Amino acid sequence: MAYRRKPAEGVLNIVRFNWPFFAAAASLLLVLGGAVLLADATWRPWVLAALMLTGAPLVASLLVSYYVYDCSALYSLNWLPAECWPTAGQTMVNIHAGFDETSYLLLQRFPSASLRVLDFFDPTEHSEASIRRARAADSPFHGTEPVQPHALPLPAASVDRGFVLLAAHEIRKPTQRVAFFGELRRVLKPTGRLVVVEHLRDPANFLAYTIGFLHFYPRPMWLRTFAAAGFTPQQEIKITPFVSAFILVPNGISD
């Protein structure tokens, strides 16, 4: 049976994993909405403005999330260049941070390749409540292996295609990020490709998520990290205005 994402699965997951925030925001909006109805003519414009300033960013973030995670080509993988498609007998590795939305999709899209799934979730490092809720709700892909990002249990030059999709930003310490990508450089074959997908700390994501965009990292930081780990960006793809894919090759490989 083909694996299919459920309607609005992405945005509903965001609400589910961050429900205390959304419950508090909804309560505040209800209070402000009631205040608009009860306020006298002098105060009503100010209360209405507070309602709009509170509600508009929340609605915008949910609409953008629905577009990115439920309506865009992100999970179809149609944006993936043909040179990144693993072929029969090749090894692909998918690495995530405790919540895996892509392993079944990769296996379905490339059934003749061998898939290995690694999970670098560490409760001492990833203490955000939303990540814990996501992990608790996740049904791990069969054979998923817990790993440390600085010590991947893979032989050198053994991976044809690596995927780190919306996960690498969860490694918050710069030295650990470089070590993680250094490990990926070690295990990737000279002719291999690494696909990294991330939101960026840029104007589009600020407009979508306001202060929440600080959870992401700016493009120059990613480029410095890739270079420090021995990778060269071969291609950069805007899957949506809010999500970028970097196709990386080991330094010295350009084709």
| Digit-coded pLDDT (tens) for 154-208 | 999 999 999 999 999 999 999 999 999 999 999 999 999 999 999 999 999 999 9
What confidence score (pLDDT) does residue 252 get? 63
Whether the Cβ atoms of residue 89 and residue 112 lie closer than 8 Å to each other: yes
What confidence score (pLDDT) does residue 87 get? 94
What confidence score (pLDDT) does residue 136 get? 80
| Digit-coded pLDDT (tens) for 75-114 | 999 999 999 999 999 999 999 999 999 999 999 999 999 9
CATH number of the 77-250 domain: 3.40.50.150
Residue 235: beta bridge partners?
A: 247
| Digit-coded pLDDT (tens) for 152-162 | 999 999 999 99
List the one residue out of 133, 216, 105, 212 whose CA is nearest residue 170.
216
| Digit-coded pLDDT (tens) for 226-248 | 999 999 999 999 999 999 999 99
Spans of all domains in the chain: 9-71, 77-250
- Looking at residue 244, its amino acid is S
The residue to which tokens 């292996």 are assigned: 145
Confidence tier at 135 by pLDDT (50, 70, 90): confident
- Compute, in degrees rounded to 10, the torsion defined by CA atoms 167, 170, 173, 179: -30
pLDDT at 51 over 90: yes
Rounded to whole angstroms, the Cα distance separating 228 from 224 reads 6
The length of the chain is 255
What confidence score (pLDDT) does residue 2 get? 64
What confidence score (pLDDT) does residue 24 get? 95
List the one residue out of 117, 122, 89 whose CA is nearest residue 189.
89
Task: Give the ranges where the chain is alpha helix by DSSP (H).
Answer: 9-17, 19-38, 44-66, 103-109, 129-137, 174-187, 203-209, 219-229
Token pair for 69: 């995670």
Distance of CA 192 to CAs 113, 158, 207, Å? 14, 9, 36
